[in-house]
Copies of this chain bind each other. A is one copy, B any other.
Amino acid sequence: MDYVYGPGRNHLFVPGPVNIPEAVLRSMNRNNEDYRSPAVPAMTKTLLEDVKKIFKTTTGTPFLIPTTGTGAWESALTNTLSPGDRTVSFLIGQFSLLWIDQQQRLKFNVDVVESEWGQGANLDILESKIAEDTAHTIKAICIVHNETATGVTNNLAKVRKILDNYRHPALFLVDGVSSICAIDFRMDEWGVDVALTGSQKALSLPTGIGIVCASPKALEASKTAKSVRVFFDWNDYLKFYKLGTYWPYTPSIQLLYGLRTALDLLFEEGLDNVIARHSRLGKATRLAVEAWGLKNCTQREEWVSDTVTAVLVPPHIDSTEIVKRAWKRYNLSLGLGLNKVAGKVFRIGHLGNLNELQLLGCLAGVEMVLRDVGYPVKLGSGVAAASAYLHNNTPLIPSRI
């Protein structure tokens, strides 16, 4: 049974791992299979073809690696760069911090561009660095599309533009862990060289697949990159792609079938509709926060995130208490504030297979929790603000019209 049982459903609103659709749970409910039989490669082939669509790429090469987001980062970096290589990387929250930490431990020369937590990547500084770098010492720009710790979405099109303006050849590496499949992302159009996400995020699967997609330029770079790697080496995959057996080591059969179903659901809903749904839920959440009289950790409208909202609490309140209380009393799982914003923010994940009423239930719960910890929110106020928006913007479910 569960380790700590509560009646009714757990309301899972952390920004990952997220709610798994029943159809996906069903498809994963199966015995192991021989991955060397003809059946598994046949299915894998469809996965590799279809997964490109979530990156909006036709030229990229995807890798489904049995790992987490952290492993996907490592795959992106070690296959394209060599120790000592200069990267420009933006520190804007806990996850960009961890990626930078990884870059440093992998012995790259990381040029860190730091912003206050709650702000987006400082692209003016990027521009000046690129402008100055006529010698092309910068080998890669590493950027987190959506910083999950602060609810900040960066403008990737602008990064591309800067690189193009200066005809700078740096690789463009993007952590799309909490954006891809939920926030507009265009690998080919934006010239992203490596993009990555994790199965437990917008794809709404369990943890276990790091999905990495490499541009032709990234694949080319992998031929000379000197970072030591074996488990994460793309070459092992490419070798088995050629053989048509696809797997250098044992994949999780269950996750492959789960991914198949997750993609089927995404395409049935339509990727654009999925993104519109996230946008709708994100907007509704922000309106609720405003109605509560609280501030979004994200400092400017241009950076707001449609997959997670970090809510600043008044100084006399410890946001950790909010998260604890939500779980203990209402079976509601919210995201903690991490590192610099620990105690200062709590986070509402609105990511993955989720709908309007699930969100409104969560918002109603947050209101009660806020009262529990002494913040005098007017009960129903956030729900009212969010519903007003949702009521005007939620389409009929296409299959039910």
Contact = CB atoms under 8 A, between A and B. Distances in A.
A39 interface: yes
A277 to B, nearest CB: 6
Interface string A78-92: 000001000000000
A380 interface: yes
Interface string A47-65: 0000000000000000000
B4 A32 contact: no
A332 interface: yes
Contacts of A255: 206, 208
A67 interface: yes
Interface residues of A, number: 121
Contacts of A254: 28, 206
B3 A394 contact: no
A380 to B, nearest CB: 3
Interface stretch (A130-138, A212-220, A364-372): A364-372
Contact of A329 (B207, B230, B354, B394): B394
Interface string A11-55: 110101111101101111111111111111011000000000000
Copy number in the complex reads 4
Contacts of A97: none
B26 A69 contact: no
B355 A249 contact: no
Nearest to A3: B39
A142 to B, nearest CB: 14
Given A70-B231, A252-B208, A355 B330 contact: yes
Name, among A68, A250, A390, the residue most crowded by chain B CB atoms within 10 Å (CB to CB): A250
Contacts of A18: 32
Interface string A333-365: 101100000000000000001111111111011
A249 B69 contact: yes
A360 B386 CA distance: 13
Question: Of A27, A43, A327, which is in contact with the most chain B CB atoms at under 10 Å from its CB?
Answer: A327
A355 B364 CA distance: 12
A128 interface: no
B357 A332 contact: yes
A331 B397 contact: yes
A191 interface: no
A400 B328 contact: yes
A253 B199 CA distance: 13
14 contacts: A7-B354, A8-B357, A8-B358, A12-B32, A22-B30, A69-B250, A105-B229, A105-B230, A227-B228, A228-B228, A328-B397, A368-B394, A379-B383, A380-B380
Interface of A: 1-12, 14, 16-20, 22-23, 25-40, 42-43, 66-71, 74, 83, 101-102, 105-107, 198, 200, 206-208, 227-233, 248-255, 261, 264-265, 268-269, 274, 277, 327-333, 335-336, 353-362, 364-365, 367-368, 371-372, 378-381, 383-385, 387-388, 390-391, 394-397, 399-401
Given A66-B207, A101-B230, A379-B391, 20 more contacts: A1-B265, A4-B400, A5-B269, A7-B269, A9-B19, A17-B253, A25-B31, A66-B66, A102-B230, A106-B230, A107-B228, A206-B252, A208-B255, A328-B400, A329-B397, A330-B355, A357-B364, A360-B365, A361-B362, A364-B387
